[in-house]
Amino acid sequence: MTIRINGVDADITPEDERTVGEVLLALEPWLEGSGHRLAVIGIDGVDVPADSFGDAIAREIDGVGVLDIGTIPIIDLIGESLGLVLEAADAFEAADFADRGAVGEAWAKSASAGLLAGRDPGLFALAGKALSGEGAGMRELRAVVAERLAEIGDPAGELDGLAPAIAEVCDRLEQLPLDFQTGKDARAAETIALFSGVAEKVFRILGILAGAGFRFEDVPAGGSTAAECASGFHGTLGEFLGAYGRQDTVIAGDIAEYEMAPRFRELTAAVLGAAKGVRQ
């Protein structure tokens, strides 16, 4: 059996798989890792309609000449899901008060809501709250969705616009040991909250770039690559959170100043420069 992905012959040979469904299941981790999801399949030149999918995946591969697999980038699915959140919000606000709960329930049961639940739990929870019977947080929901759509539409531009906040948070991380030593607990907590928000946005954007085929392995960052820098930063962040959770402010402060700040500054500068080049 020949396997083609998006029209291109794939160098894939089934091993223990006996059915089309088992082949698709084996390919799922690879598709997920490449930022794609299964969109459609075809068998011997004929696309399989949705109502025949169950029969198709049960077919023995010995009787299949060519298995065509069509995929869609996950980031496109996320964009569509965000658009559906806004459609649900419009429907919610246009509905009579007694019918609003049904609008929210219908959205929560949708496939797009399920995708957001796994990919962006915070946004999913916010949407669930806003699309509840009371509609609390609708303005916040629209603002967050608009931000996410902007990140998808122009990730390099969003990262570029974040440069002042990145610079500020790195400076404040370097000052964190002094804040701890001088009892400025409120300022230290503020720094950590600011860092959390900025870092979350940065890594959302990096995920979008990766889903669009951006290769962090090819981007130099200091003496390593952006991919290695990002991996190292995650490890450093874990060490910082562990020390901070133990209230070991000496260790937490040293990690923030000497590891987190320079790594974060180096990573974002390298990726921004490369991403702007891709955008041009």
Q: Is the predicted pLDDT of residue 41 greater than 80, yes or no?
A: yes
Lowest mean pLDDT among 63-67, 126-130, 208-212: 208-212
Residue 29 banded pLDDT, cuts 50, 70, 90: confident
**Chain-wide mean pLDDT for the chain?**
90
pTM confidence score: 0.80
Domain locations in the chain as residue ranges: 2-73, 76-153, 155-279
> Considering the domain 2-73 in this protein, what is its CATH number?
3.10.20
Cα dihedral across residues 150, 151, 157, 158: positive or negative? positive
pLDDT attached to residue 87:
96
Q: Is the predicted pLDDT of residue 178 greater than 90, yes or no?
A: yes
Summarize pLDDT for 225-238 with one digit per residue, the tens. Answer: 888 988 889 999 99
pLDDT attached to residue 152:
92
pLDDT attached to residue 264:
93
> Residue 35 gets which letter from DSSP?
T
Average pLDDT rounded to a whole number, residues 67-91: 92
Summarize pLDDT for 231-271 with one digit per residue, the tens. Answer: 889 999 999 999 999 999 999 999 999 999 999 999 998 88
Residue 108 banded pLDDT, cuts 50, 70, 90: very high
pLDDT attached to residue 278:
53
